[in-house]
Amino acid sequence: MHRTNLFKLSLFSALIVLFAAGQALAELPKIADLAEKAGPAVVNIFTETAPKQSQRQPRMQIPRGTPFDDFFEQFDQYFNQHPQQQQKRSRSLGSGFLISADGYIITNNHVVEKADKVNVKLQKGEKVIQARVVGADPETDLALLKIDNGSSLPFLKLGDSAKLRVGDWVVAIGNPFGLAHTVTAGIVSAKGRVIGAGPYDDFIQTDASINPGNSGGPLLNLDGEVVGINAAIIASGQGIGFAIPSNIAKDVVAQLKSKGKVSRGMLGVTIQSVDENTAKALGLSDAKGALVSQVGPGSAAEKAGLASGDVIIAVNGQPVADSHDLTTRIGNMNPGEPVTVTYLRKGKSQTAKVTLMERDAKALGQMGDDPAQAKGGDTLGMTLSATDPRTGKPAGGLLVVDVTQNSAAAEAGLRRGDVIVEINQRPVATPEEAASIIEKEGKARGAVVVLFKRQGQPVFRSIPVQ
């Protein structure tokens, strides 16, 4: 009797396990129907770029019929490229997808930039179609193409990437390593990734397999809607790919289609995020906001009265988390649009009305390089001098003559040749002034903020003070 009960219990347990396994299998996504329906709208992109030819060197003028004539003829043949002896045109492979029945295609900018010719191949049919680049946006790595191949082409719908949740199933379709129409599946691993690809990074991270050649292809939800445009991978990692959210693509594509370019607002400032040490040194309650390290001459920010050292904490009443948050939000606004900027100046909150300027290459060039991306008696491990030892002339601040290895200043990134102009927003002209501020304010707050110039560009660094 006891054995019979044990057998019944074991059988019941096995049935429960089988039922649970069946339920788990039933919950796995069905990819085949989705891939079959979406696949025809995904295209293979081939680009061609002609190599730049060097100028043919003119042949030395030797009278015909002389003993040297044959020699220079052979020299010219073997060492001087003839115009007809051109190298083959280089080709690259990428992916894209149709978004309308009349032939508009989304892909990555890096797939088509610098190409002389862009060719597209549809899933069905061997015909190669030449595409026209309608417009491209390098800052989001998106491009819009157009092919003329009828008005009933298969296409995909752009979905709402904001509705994606970490853990949702997604499907990637593309041409990795030239293997046409490869389908891979995975989940959303993370959202809002900033990987240093551009000023508007907001990537979807996925473990759906993405490889070279997938660039520009769609990342689909289980409803067959495009929620991302596959754009980047980590070469040394597996199962780590990145896609541009569809909600970013919607606005970019609309502008590219209507005017061939993207217009964005710009304050005209160089900014850095506020870390904990910077917050301590400036007496801020939270390590939030964007610290202004430079204001462009004639910029919208300068006209509104913003200055180096201000900490922007809100735009139109909405808090600013960090420098990336500020750049993204201002970039989503239009040139000429008025905005209210709230900022802290020496601890006091102020507001300014700013009419945004247009973000373009000329405006960015005036700002110079972003100092936030800059790399590498005794004061915090520095030897400071009010004069330049090489010339004997005033340094225009305090010249960093030397930095002790592993010191607080070295850890903060200061190096020999930097010129310190302010500490805790106070001008410093002598090493004694610097030491006094560090001794009084630095030790009380636990850190100081140093404004220095490196190759003429202003940079803020926070240094902890023990």
DSSP string over 14-34: HHHHHHHHHHHHHHS---HHH
Is it the case that residue 365 has pLDDT exceeding 70? no
225 annotated among ligand-binding-site residues: no
**One fold for both 161-259 and 265-370?**
no
Q: Place 375 in a pLDDT band, splitting at 50, 70 and 90.
A: very low
pLDDT band at residue 75, thresholds of 50, 70 and 90? very low
102: annotated binding-site residue?
Answer: no
Q: Output the pLDDT for position 118.
A: 95
Q: Which of 394, 445, 13 is nearest to 437 (CA)?
A: 445
- In the chain, where the domains are located: 161-259, 265-370, 378-464
pTM: 0.69
The Cα 464–Cα 261 span in angstroms is 45
Percent of the chain whose predicted confidence (pLDDT) is above 90: 52
Is 214 annotated in some ligand binding site?
Answer: yes
Per residue in 153-211, pLDDT tens? Answer: 999 999 999 999 999 999 999 999 889 899 999 999 999 998 877 888 899 999 999 99
Of 92, 95, 137, 141, catalytic: 141
Q: What is the pLDDT of residue 413?
A: 87
**Cβ atoms within 10 Å, residue 17:** 9
Q: What's the fold here for domain 265-370?
A: Pdz3 Domain (2.30.42)
Q: Which of 95, 110, 322, 323 is catalytic?
A: 110
The pLDDT assigned to 33 comes to 94
215 a catalytic residue = yes
Judge whether 27 is annotated as a binding position.
no
- Residue closest to 151 by CA, chosen among 192, 184, 102, 96: 102
Assigned architecture for domain 161-259: Beta Barrel (2.40)
Active-site position among 95, 215, 273, 323: 215
Smallest Cα–Cα separation from 60: which of 74, 47, 50?
74
CATH number of 378-464: 2.30.42.10
Residue 215 among known ligand-binding residues:
yes
39 annotated among ligand-binding-site residues: no
Q: Which of 74-88, 125-139, 272-286, 309-323 has the lowest mean pLDDT?
A: 74-88
pLDDT band, very low/low/confident/very high, at 28 (cuts 50, 70, 90)? confident
Note if 82 is an active site residue.
Answer: no
Those residues with Cβ within 8 angstroms of residue 65's Cβ, 6 or more apart along the chain or in another chain: none
* 141 is known as an active-site residue: yes
